[in-house]
Structure 1
Amino acid sequence: MAASGAVELGAAAATAAPSPAPAQAPAPEHLFRPISAEDEEQQPTEIESLCMNCYRNGTTRLLLTKVPFFREIIVSSFSCEHCGWNNTEIHSAGRIQDQGVRYALTVRTQEDMNREVVKTDSATTSIPELDFEIPAFTQKGTLTTVEGLISRAISGLEQDQPTRRANEEAVAERIDEFIVRLKELKRVASPFTLIIDDPSGNSFVENPHAPQKDHALVITHYNRTVQQEEMLGLQAEAPEEKPEEEDLRNEVLQFNTNCPECNAPAQTNMKLVQIPHFKEVIIMATNCDSCGHRTNEVKSGGAVEPLGTRITFHITHPSDLTRDVLKVTKNPFTLGDSSNPDQMEKLREFSQKLDQILEGNVKAHFIMNDPAGNSYLQNVYAPEDDPEMKVEHYKRTFDQNEELGLNDMKTEGYETGLAPQR
């Protein structure tokens, strides 16, 4: 019988007596009374119901009670006077708890055997010393004692022993041996551990010293797994799916812009590239179909670094020139009427020196100083250090921060509406 139906029947029985006061819903504490042999008003509700053994009518008794230091439960007992079949179950009168519970009781004395136990049908009972376990949902919930749990297990094993002896004698003999060991536990010849693990959180093992701490009983509350949520029929929350991040590294993005030369509509291509042992950079290229202008540039994919970077590279071999090099061959100010003989001569000498470096005839140092810290020169020995390259990090000056627009950039104090003062 469902627990909800039992609550309704119990409520009807509790409000059946006439009362001069206006009819009101009874308070929960009036429905669920603590278990007591001296409480004459605590009488079970009896209803006629069908026996599932002989299909004749039997009697179901419902008792709404409260376990001290625990919670309300409904004890349901059925008996049939025709075939003699009977059954007793307990149901939690509350909801499934937010967490599961695990009781580990060390049984040392006969008083421990008399502890009250509420075991729901979703609880797993085990005795590690015997490697014995009663899985969840293989027995109905019960209100009993530690000794009663063991006696119920013994009765369950003995029930089918005659059939086993006829069909599987070896199995029956092993079960007989195990039953003897269970009966020895009832005498508490040596300490043993009783574990009741209930994902619903509605099982209970009595603490006879309550509200004082019980040193023989360890109670652990835990969060249920997804499998346990499904076992209890709860709708487990699906893990929040993170939106899939677009992989921009394998795509060339295109967007419309204007040509910087003729201002005609043009298209800019952009691609995110990961430079090994450095960082991500964005390569942008613009082609104009109207005037044929083409431009490309590289932008850092990250923020301005906390420190500036100075890279000094010693060119000692022609293979070093495979790294990026700028060579000036023509300059508009060296041609036509605007040309200056002295300036043209200096540029010619500079171009000759670059040619000598490219031919490997002259050793040189290449220095790249970037206050933003986002420049890069390939290290062919990576991840090891390059013996011909020196990388220095330095603190920017005020003028360098001013040029980068960092001095007026405020990133703190906005939660209070007050930006820090310089």
Structure 2
Amino acid sequence: MEGFDADNVNEVESMCPSCHKNGLTRMLMVKVPYFKEVIVVSFDCPHCNEHNTSVQPAATIAATGSNFLLKVTCKQDLQRRIVKSDAALFQILEVEFEIPANVQPGQFTTLEGIIMQAITNLEMLQPDRKTHAPEQYEAINAFLEKMRGLLTDEPNFTVILDDPTGNSFIENPHAPSKDPNLTHTPYARSDDQNLALGLNLAQERAMAPGNKAAAIMNNDAAENLAEKFTTAGDIMELPSICPSCQTNGVNRMCITSIPHFKEVIIMAFKCDHCGFKSTEVKCGGEIADHGTRYILNVADELDLNRDVLKSDTASAKIIENGEVLVGVETGTLGGMFTTVEGFLNQVRTQLDGVMPFSAGDSADAAERTKMLQVVATLGEFISGRPFTLVIDDPVSNSYVQDIYVPDPDPQMTVETYTRSTEQDDELGLLDMRV
């Protein structure tokens, strides 16, 4: 509990699991910066010196599961902070090490801390094994050597952290830029996973990834899209369950065509009971046989007011003087229709609410300063400071408004390219049979 405000710590007496005498349990609700609230629990026994800590998520189960794949290539990677819920599966592929779900309490630690704890736990019974199970002793001894070999100055191994609750995280020390060694993949839970987590399947489907992701979109901009390109007769209404209060509501959908682009599907939900609103924009039509990259040099207010349609398959970069200030990975902001200015505001909101460990109690001074500088620079871009926006969509479902049509746009370059086999595989196109 070191480093937290002691005034906010709740203390209760509880029985020690080792000596069965009274010890002291301390509990503190902590907002992990750019992640969510967690409850840190620490127990100390003054009689037998038993000590243990655990972390439990205080927030609700997320709309999607999370899979993190980390390539550990340097000693600094061992110090990455990790939030691992009790429902998460942790693996180190090269040594075939695995911590299954629901066998350990949640942890807020580092990668090195997880490995050291595993080594300590395995070593604990080695003296007994040496006497009563020598073959098992030798096998575990060989495995321990492999585990110790991970903690070198030049490590080279792969970590997978998979959590169906979405309540686990691995630190990105490069935030807000993309981490070259870390891949985060959100995924829809299976029915079996929902049942194992005790979730109601009908409710879970109402909170599907698309609907939940849409909650962070610019609602006013999406409604504006419907007003600009549709008429009332084009709107379809379907009964739906509110993902916030689970009461019945109406999901409105329409198909419209954006000039000089393609057809898009607009979905909007508003709950009259609790006021919850969500919007989502999806592109219709067939999948393009190429990717499209928009490079916009934003120079003035006209450029800030350009319409932007970013699909959930697109990534984005905000660049100044050739240096990437912020990288937005595929799926991070979901699908949205907004303006360049609105996109910058969405990125600022994302930096302030999603990416972990960049400010607050769990961050050092350098990380905090870095994040404040990025947020301040984004504010200057919104105020008119020039920058470059790159939106890259491998299936060409994104669009940046060309305000000079039919003349060439002096501020924007549009590039088309052939997708790589790896991109086709990530998009699931290699598995399609038509």
TM-score tier after normalising by the smaller chain length: 0.3 to 0.5
Q: TM-score, normalised by structure 1?
A: 0.46
Q: TM-score, normalised by structure 2?
A: 0.45
* Greater length-normalized contact order (CA 8 Å, ≥ 6 residues apart): 2
The structure that has the greater radius of gyration is 1
